[in-house]
Chain A
Amino acid sequence: MTTDEPLLEVEGLDVEYELTNDVIHAVSDASFTIQENRYLGLVGESGCGKSTIAQSLISALDSNGEIASGTIRFRGEEIQDLTEAEFKNEYLWNEIAFIPQSAMNSLDPLMKVSEQATKIAKEHTDWSKEEALDRFRELFGVVGLPESRIDDYPHQFSGGMKQRTIIALALFLKPSLIIADEPTTALDVIMQDQILNYLQEIRRDRDLSMLMITHDISVVFENCDDMAVMHGGQVAETGSVVDIYTQPRHPYTILLQRAFPDVRFRDRKLETIEGEPPVLHEDMDFCSFADRCPWATPECRQGSPPLEPVPEGAETPRGGGETAADGTRVDDGVVTHRTSCIRQEEMADLADAHLDEIEAKRTLTE
């Protein structure tokens, strides 16, 4: 069952990058939580700050990046000020595992895969070499790779197999949290499906929490329990996947959902969002979506929008939360639905009106 204390809690995070003449405010006042045994999808487009957050979580920001303020708490302990070395020592692999974006390149080409595993084991555990290899072999089986191949070099594996090797390494020391940064972006859709499925099965079997960072909202809707939507360095909306799917309250979430193609409804016209993701040169003390938002008001530009809880509507079909083994979703109301849109109360009606307008236009032109 779930405890009250979140496994990972990010609060008011600000991350900046220093360029020669410029400061990029990559993340502004971001907050979200990951509970024990839950799967959070952090979704947003290029430049929204999601990869930066991933790097901040494991103290692996580039040298010109810095956490300007805010906290990151893992099991209640603050970890945002740890150096990369400190984080590696205390948390990496054994508590928090990281599957990077170009997982293809994060395996050491000069070491056999088994050697990389034993190296990690040596650094963090007191297992004997045999023990480590045994456990790793087991994991190879779990991810569907032939156990005989643990002594191969990375170049002997195909792309999908490398990805699964990284997953095996990530699971190796039984961490409580796995962070996957766009784990399937470079893969074909069939391989992507396989990998995401493995991740889901493994997660359920081992009661892990997982954070997946992606730009693909369908993947989040299908696999995750909770989600956080980001735009321009700010968290637009966060909550359980079902809450956000059924009752989106931030204009960006509403429009983004409609911008994604859905193979089942091919006739539905895709929504376009005006403008481009913002460049973030300035202090983001206004809503980063305001310039692109069809419902923006002058207030939206006056002050950084806070994340406020969304009140439960009478029509909220409470079916959110975890997915049981048979596929039905079980509500346990764990994660609060919050959004940073100051017009959230009107948003439901505004969005419906918008949708009706589009429908009307479409029927006119047909």
Chain B
Amino acid sequence: MSSTQPILEVRNLEKTFKQSTGILDLAKERLGLGDNPPIRAVDGVDLRLEQNQAQAVIGESGCGKTTLLKTLMGLYSPTGGDVVFDGTNRDEFSKADWKEFRRRVPIIFQDPFNSINPTFTVRDALLEPLGIHDMKGDDPEGKAIDALEKARLTPAETYLDRRESELSGGEKQRVSIARALILDPDVLLADEPTSMIDVSTQASLLNLLDDLVEELGLSMLYVSHDLSTVSYVCDRINVMYLGRVIESGTTDAVLDNPKHPYTQALIQAIPVPDPFSDREPTDLRGTPSDPINLPGGCRFKDRCPERMDVCDRTPRSTETEDDAEHTVACHLYYDHEGATGADGHATVRAGNGMHGGDDR
């Protein structure tokens, strides 16, 4: 483990949504009637983002990655767990701390077409964060030009007066990136930044993000459903399924040696641009279960080809044998701790305070 402190750490983060806040449902709750199971969008997620590191959070739609991101951003308040930024727990943030956090952890969204206020010029969009943080200084326009250059939109001056409708999708994303960079941030949160960009421009955006991490010493949390692009930017991959991180490791480890059956299926399903490839189509059937009425235990059990009885218990994250940095939350990998068999009667208890091991 690294000795320096991670810039952003997430411990057992939970974000639960109640299904409805109508008056009738409130009454039902008060009276003890009515069964309104909450939606556990994020259900015990751990992450450690080091300085100068880019990590990916991969998952299909509904896995909770967007909720995770919005909670990290501060748009949602967590219902459980901790977020620790630069050593300080967010629960202990003062107003000033929050302002600092917001300056140092900006976000880029996936939809370029609504990422800039249509009544704004590029200049307006770039100066906005400076204005909110009172950081305009003597030369706000200079800062804007600087940010545009970092985002490789040159000649920067020609872009300042343009409006959203005069920019292409790729250009709009770069403006979003420039806007995020203008406050000299530490961590960039990116929500599928290239999923709505044409492939021919995607590559340059990915290269840009990768270079930003290297040259500016940024950290990045890159959320996506597309495994094939993350390897160009990220050092580590975390795979999410229905609110939990089920596998985590370096990019190479996860892509070359996926352990969790879901990760394996996911990688297996990626089409290969080669007519001679002999890729077998996935065997996986069905779709992720409804997040509202989740059964206890492993959430993948209804689709898992390797399901065992013991999977009715929630698996905890364990390190894999060959690589301490590669963790997976799957009962298949508990062997070395003794006793899981096909009969599944062995109990697997988590004794070290980490989540899991109980029926939920």
Q: Which residues of A contact B (CB under 8 A)?
A: 45-46, 144, 158-160, 188-194, 196-197, 215-219, 221-222, 241-242, 245, 255-257, 259-264, 266, 269-273, 276-277, 319, 327, 329
Contacts and interface: CB of A to CB of B under 8 A. Distances in A.
Looking at chain B's contact residues, the main secondary structure is loop
Contact of A218 (B170, B273, B285): B273
B282 interface: yes
Contacts of B275: 221-222, 241-242, 245, 329
B284 A222 contact: no
Contact of A222 (B60, B268, B277, B285): B277
Nearest to B273: A218
B232 interface: yes
B117 interface: no
Nearest to B288: A188
Interface stretch (B155-163, B203-211, B337-345): B203-211
A222 B209 CA distance: 29
A272 B203 contact: yes
Interface string B170-211: 100000000000000000000000000011111110110000
B225 A188 contact: yes
B221 interface: no
A158 B60 CA distance: 14
B168 A261 contact: no
Contacts of B199: 45, 215, 217, 256, 259-260
A144 B281 CA distance: 15
B227 interface: yes
Contacts of B304: none
A159 B288 CA distance: 12
18 contacts: A188-B61, A190-B265, A190-B269, A193-B281, A194-B282, A217-B199, A219-B271, A221-B273, A242-B275, A242-B276, A256-B199, A261-B231, A262-B273, A262-B274, A272-B200, A272-B204, A273-B201, A329-B276
Across the A-B interface, the 3 shortest Cβ-Cβ residue pairs: A270-B203, A273-B200, A218-B273
Contacts of A190: 60, 265-266, 269, 282, 284
A327 B170 CA distance: 38
B265 to A, nearest CB: 6
Contacts, number: 124
B287 interface: yes
Given A191-B287, A193-B269, A215-B199, A263 B228 contact: yes
Contacts of A192: 269, 271
Contact of B228 (A144, A196, A262, A327): A262
Contacts of B252: 266
B203 A259 contact: yes
Interface in B204-232: 204, 206-207, 225-229, 231-232
Contacts of B226: 189
B7 interface: no
Interface in B261-312: 265-279, 281-282, 284-285, 287
B281 A217 contact: no
A263 B60 contact: no
A44 B251 CA distance: 29
A266 B231 CA distance: 6
Contacts of B282: 190, 193-194
Contacts of B278: 327
Given A190-B265, A261-B229, A276-B170, A222 B279 contact: yes
